[in-house]
Amino acid sequence: MDYSLPDSVRRQIIAMQKGEITEHYVYLNIAKRVKNPKNRAILKQIGADELSHYNLWTEFLGVTAKPTYWKIIWYGIINFLLGYTFTLKIMERGEKRAQINYIEICNYVADAERIAHDEDIHEKELIDLLDEERLNYVGSMVLGLNDALVELTGALAGLTFAITDTRLISLSGLITGIAASFSMAASQYLSAKADGRKDALKSSVYTGIAYIITVTILIMPYLLIQNNRFLALGIMLASVVIIIFGFNYYISVAKNLNFRKRFFQMIVISLGVASLSFLIGTVVKMVLGINI
């Protein structure tokens, strides 16, 4: 071990050593769950690179390091829920936030520049080669999600002002939502089929699933809170914001898109339709004199 190293440099190298062995296991664990041979090979290659970096730091320091087990578990959970592309992009962002001064380290470790190049260029190129199926159907998911948000948010908002019984609101919204989800899935299938796409059925399934999940989340407040329809409406609108935030964050990370622009576009459209529906529901109730 080189005791002439400044403490600041040693701490950075120890952090990198621990990070490399941790990410080695993360990549290998993700690779085990990947069916596509090409993607599995890429992930194993990145994992091997991480192990190579770890061995270099271990040789330099003269001591081994244990991986951070909670990170391995945490990234495994994210991978299971949100897919490996999102997981790897989150890991990549974590590396960028790490305060590692490679220029300073290069004064003491000749191979530090090569490792920095691998981290910045090689791994990014490999990650960009990954082809995750669910990301190929983002357009279908956006179609189902956005249509459900706009249509059902407006419908529920209008029904909330027109009907006093939350059970009737939830029943009406549920019937509307389920019928619309099948309609949207069928439309997506016919559209994709007309374009000559071989994955028309799978595309329609992604659209329908995104629609039904959104409908379920939006209807839930009315099913759980039956004595205060305006509280249910408030929770439903909060759910809309959370859904839009979560989905756009996922897409922005996984596909390197502008989060802020997409988020505010969907917020303005969904809440704008809801506001207009408030007005329509109130006017209809007053004009028709219906009080249910």
Q: Could you give all domains of the chain from N- to C-terminal order, each with its CATH number?
A: 7-131 (1.20.1260), 134-288 (no CATH)
d(CA 5, CA 89): 32
The pLDDT tens digits along the chain (292 residues) read: 444 677 777 888 888 889 889 989 999 998 888 888 888 888 888 888 889 889 988 988 888 999 999 999 999 998 887 788 888 888 877 665 555 666 677 777 777 777 776 666 656 666 666 666 666 666 667 767 777 777 787 778 777 877 778 888 888 888 888 888 888 788 878 877 787 777 788 788 888 888 888 888 888 888 888 788 888 888 888 888 888 888 888 878 777 777 888 788 777 877 777 677 667 766 766 666 555 5
**Whole-number pLDDT of residue 53:** 85
Angle of helix 229-255 relative to helix 138-162, nearest 10 degrees?
Answer: 170
Is-above-0.85 flag for pTM? no
**Whole-number pLDDT of residue 288:** 62
Spatial CB neighbours of 142, under 8 Å, sequence gap ≥ 6: 210, 251
d(CA 93, CA 98): 9
Spatial CB neighbours of 62, under 8 Å, sequence gap ≥ 6: 1
The Cα-based distances of 69 to 16, 73, 230, 241 in angstroms read 15, 6, 45, 34
